[in-house]
Structure 1
Amino acid sequence: MQPHISAQDHDFYRALAAKDARFDGVFFAGITTTGIYCRPICRVKTPRQTSCVFFSSQAAAEAAGFRPCLRCRPELAPYNLQQNLAHAIWQKISAGALNEASVETLAEQVGLSSRQLRRVMLQEFGVSPVELAQTQRLLFAKKLIQETKLSMTEIAFASGFGSVRRFNALFEARYKMSPASIRRTQTPTESQQGISLRLAYRPPYAWDQLLTYLHGRAMLGLEQVDLQQACYRRSVQLDGKTGWVEVSHAADKQQLLLHIAPSLSSVLLPLLARIRQQFDVEANPIVIAQHLQQDLLLAQQMSRTPGLRVPGSFDAFELAIRAILGQQVSVAGATTVAGRLVQKFGVPMQSPWQGISHHFPSPDCLAQLSVEEIATIGVPKTRAATIQQFAAFTAVGGLQFKLGISLDEVIRTLKALPGIGEWTAQYIAMRALRFSNAFPAGDLGLQKAVSHDPSQMALRCTEKQLLQRAEAWSPWRSYAALLLWQSL
């Protein structure tokens, strides 16, 4: 086991001394003289290099006996997700995969033996899956204590602990303080009508452009984008709980602000995981830009919209249905029809906003409808049949792909379904399944964006030519697609 980093210690110390935000979440510094570990942006006086030990994760720092800093709060650090199996497993564990399931069950879902799973995590993070899960539960509990007014009982269960006693014991054993002692030093800003939480990101973040993109695609009754107040709202249906969430932006703090219905307090961990995906919180814009700026056209657009994200989805199924409805019609037309589907087949709910009135219909619901019933929203029967069959595919777990599956395999699986072509499969992979290299090269907008003379169809770039040019953009072709769309 190698719990700490050694080869790059000097470079990491320079980043720590400079309070370099580019390394936030990339490493954590354990201070041997205090027993505390910090983010590289911590504003405390920089310790001597001989007093620092560097770790690649919070779990590795805590396994070495360090406690999280109360000032810089390591639980707020943006994730440093890589595109490999170990980090995909880490993300699943961080979303609560081991709160109710065993390591053996998780290993089966991943397609590994439990022994292989433990070895993968030890090699990448220096800790076992169970140790990693414990660290994430404690850090999430610490976050809830410092940011909300939830009771300790609510916090214990929301963080994945089986009992309050177990929560208190592990918290005091690991952090050498009681949960209540942290709350007494903080003043939560939560309102009486909801739960307020924060998510940090790596700057820059093109928030206005992301909101504009979502605004044009927001489904009536399900979602609402308020461009004047610069926020996104939607209904939430998750693990048997229902409610709503509002997301806004605190640019000065480099954070997204979440306002969440109290009814969702028990599902906060998976809820935040979905918000992270929808708003692409884990993107590292510096790394992406360094790669894509080698193309002059992309470099010009990045200079106009630095920090452009790939808008994800809160729910893969609803995004996939929205993509099917968008086949061969305008964005506005697809949005209108999608709103009709929500209003007609969705589940009514109440929220503080008039525009948020329904939950999206479940896969079971749409699968059980007849093609004629679905077609009444104003789509051809062939498309209604595609929606019905895709819903049936999802209802039996079709969208629950194994971790580590390749993009090509996902595309082949989706294209095997009736009515799903290359464009739809790539779009679903890009936004719903979060493949950073997905690229709908058949999109006329993308072809137009890279053409020398977009006004003349004869000179427009072909799909084959676009794919050839896009080879240089891998593994960030999805971000290239957003930049090209934005350039139009």
Structure 2
Amino acid sequence: MATSGIQSDEHRYDAVRGRDPRFDGVFFIAVLTTGIYCRPSCPATTPKRENVRFYPSAAAAQAAGFRACRRCRPDAVPGSAEWNLRADIIGRAMRLINDGVIDREGVAGLAARLGYSERQVQRHLVAELGAGPLALARAQRAHTARVLLQTTKLPATDVAFAAGFASVRQFNDTIREIYASTPTELRTSARKIERGNGGGSGISLRLAYREPYDREHIFDFIGLRAIPGVEEMTGDRGDRVYRRTLRFEHGPGIAEVRERPSGGAWLDCRLDLADLRGFTTAIGRMRRLFDLDADPLAVAEYFAPHPVLGPLSVKTPGLRSPGAADADEMAIRAVLGQQISVAAARRLAGVLVAARGEPLPEPSGGLTHVFPSSAALADADFAELGMPESRKQTLRTISGALADGSVRLDPGADRDQAQRELLALRGIGPWTAGYLRMRALSDPDVVLSGDVVIKSAMKKAGLGSADVESWHPWASYAIHYFWSNS
């Protein structure tokens, strides 16, 4: 049973009885007799059906008066794959909320980005998720606060504001309500249930995903494209560490993700931020880069009958479609890579970073710069790149469009509109616009039919243009199946 096919509460209860982790984050189970809500895979004894209620979000369960289970940590589940798949107001709103937009801009900012009134946004979210934007953001803040309490030595006051709470009182009340513990009690319990921060600086955390997860493929893909100075991949295959710099409003950050499994369905991550107000946004960016909210079994099940993609999905289980840690950066990189090899594009990006990137206060290993902002590149001459003037003008054009907002690639952008805006720019063709839709906007359903590798693979497999229609709604994964097996 794929997560996308679940239809009724009886199906949901079957998933709970089977402790199926595929449904973690898709819905939540609340138990009337205990007042606790859990993820479907919670290892506790399965409650009787008459004592169970189902909720589409953790925020809805919290609003109904249930507190989070201490055993299964329902607040730490991967997000629903549906939010990336859907292009409507609900999907766009959830992508923005997960990116921390309410903490930065409030509900008014969320509504403005979506092009709706605050009342309309509230009505749509409550109708489908059982909770409005403030409740959804509150649930996210509570999870962020718990992670910080249990993995850092930050004073509780600093944790409160880093998590996005407006006051210490609001922070204390929320923690008590959701976790039935005080902040101090949560921190004390961490000695028993968390691994702690270990050595080095920064904040350690786990980025959960649904199994299977093809770590080798995604680390290969990202490592091959790592920009010198901004990204680095260290270690041997199977035990690699990916590190990169990140840009935030209040200062830079560094994210580090380990390839080697550590005993669970998660990637070990460490964040070292100049200002902890970027914490929630940093998590969202790394989740998108590593495609951690995907439902790999639903994708594999969909392609199973296909004569070509079916065997490829079996050959590469858990394959992901990598997103982007910074959408504006990805747009510049895509233009740099037009009509040249991946290696050449990586070299050009390294030259650009060395000439125009923002230096870190102190280098960290091979990391020396933050990728230059689109505003800084809008009027650049790009003399250091040694490329045709037409390509330089395309770089200036897309940088200017991103800087002035005429092209938006944020998590809540309307994907169709963004693609139209990109195609309207001189020098941006269908392949570049599609690639940015796939990676910068994390769209799981993009067909890059003009891609040279894809055309060759389709010809070799005896597939024609009509076959592409059968790839929807998971076309981006079909692309990666072909890329990884070519």
TM-score, normalised by the number of residues in structure 1: 0.91
Aligned match of 1:111 in 88, 92, 115?
115
**What is residue 3 of structure 1 aligned with on the other side?**
none
The 1:143–1:194 alpha-carbon spacing in structure 2 relative to 1, beyond 3 Å, is: closer
**What is residue 198 of structure 1 aligned with on the other side?**
206
The 1:449–1:336 alpha-carbon spacing in structure 2 relative to 1, beyond 3 Å, is: same
Query: How many Å apart are 1:7 and its aligned residue?
Result: 7.3
CA distance in 2, matches of 1:375, 1:479: 37
SS at match of 2:378: helix
Matched, 1:244 2:292: no
The 1:172–1:292 alpha-carbon spacing in structure 2 relative to 1, beyond 3 Å, is: same
**What is residue 42 of structure 2 aligned with on the other side?**
42
Q: Partner letter of residue 388 of structure 2? A: P
Aligned match of 2:165 in 161, 165, 180?
161
SS at match of 2:78: coil
Q: Give the conservation status (yes or no) of the 8 Å contact 2:24–2:78.
A: yes
**What is residue 481 of structure 1 aligned with on the other side?**
479
CA distance in 2, matches of 1:40, 1:174: 18
CA distance in 2, matches of 1:227, 1:446: 31
SS at match of 1:437: coil
Q: How does 1:120-131 map to 2 (within 5 A)?
A: 120-131=124-135
SS at match of 2:367: coil
CA distance in 1, matches of 2:258, 2:453: 29
**What is residue 300 of structure 1 aligned with on the other side?**
311
Q: Give the conservation status (yes or no) of the 8 Å contact 1:244–1:351.
A: no
**What is residue 134 of structure 1 aligned with on the other side?**
138
Moved more, 79-88 or 206-215: 79-88
CA distance in 2, matches of 1:198, 1:175: 19
Query: How many Å apart are 1:361 and its aligned residue?
Result: 0.9
The 1:157–1:381 alpha-carbon spacing in structure 2 relative to 1, beyond 3 Å, is: same
SS at match of 1:253: coil
Q: How does 1:61-460 map to 2 (within 5 A)?
A: 61-82=61-82, 83=86, 84-187=88-191, 188=194, 189-190=196-197, 191-228=199-236, 229-249=239-259, 250=261, 252-349=263-360, 353-370=364-381, 374-400=382-408, 407-452=415-460
Query: How many Å apart are 1:401 and its aligned residue?
Result: 5.3
CA-atom RMSD, angstroms? 2.1
Q: Partner letter of residue 63 of structure 2? A: A
Q: Give the conservation status (yes or no) of the 8 Å contact 1:223–1:234.
A: yes
Query: How many Å apart are 1:79 and its aligned residue?
Result: 0.7
Q: Partner letter of residue 46 of structure 1? A: T
SS at match of 1:368: coil
The 1:337–1:7 alpha-carbon spacing in structure 2 relative to 1, beyond 3 Å, is: closer
CA distance in 2, matches of 1:10, 1:147: 38
Q: Partner letter of residue 361 of structure 1? A: P
Q: Give the conservation status (yes or no) of the 8 Å contact 2:415–2:441.
A: no
Query: How many Å apart are 1:146 and its aligned residue?
Result: 2.6
- Give a deviation string over 1:136-169, Cα, whole Å, max 9, x none: 2122212322333332122111111112122112
CA distance in 2, matches of 1:217, 1:404: 25
What is the aligned-residue identity percentage?
37
Q: Give the conservation status (yes or no) of the 8 Å contact 2:355–2:384.
A: no
The 1:247–1:292 alpha-carbon spacing in structure 2 relative to 1, beyond 3 Å, is: same
**What is residue 8 of structure 1 aligned with on the other side?**
8
SS at match of 1:186: helix
Query: How many Å apart are 1:171 and its aligned residue?
Result: 2.3
- Give a deviation string over 1:66-123, Cα, whole Å, max 9, x none: 0001111112111114213213212322332222434333222211122211110111
Q: Partner letter of residue 122 of structure 1? A: V
SS at match of 2:460: coil
**What is residue 3 of structure 2 aligned with on the other side?**
none
Q: Partner letter of residue 94 of structure 2? A: W
Query: How many Å apart are 1:472 and its aligned residue?
Result: 0.9
Give structure 1 stretches of 5+ with no counterpart: 1-5, 454-459
Q: Give the conservation status (yes or no) of the 8 Å contact 2:39–2:72.
A: yes
The 1:59–1:395 alpha-carbon spacing in structure 2 relative to 1, beyond 3 Å, is: same
Query: How many Å apart are 1:206 and its aligned residue?
Result: 0.7
The 1:472–1:195 alpha-carbon spacing in structure 2 relative to 1, beyond 3 Å, is: same
Q: Give the conservation status (yes or no) of the 8 Å contact 2:327–2:409.
A: no
- Give a deviation string over 1:44-73, Cα, whole Å, max 9, x none: 222222222121110111111100011111
TM-score, normalised by the number of residues in structure 2: 0.91
Query: How many Å apart are 1:264 and its aligned residue?
Result: 4.0
Query: How many Å apart are 1:483 and its aligned residue?
Result: 0.7
The 1:7–1:208 alpha-carbon spacing in structure 2 relative to 1, beyond 3 Å, is: closer
- Give a deviation string over 1:432-472, Cα, whole Å, max 9, x none: 1112222221111000111137xxxxxx97xxx43x22111
Q: Partner letter of residue 224 of structure 1? A: E
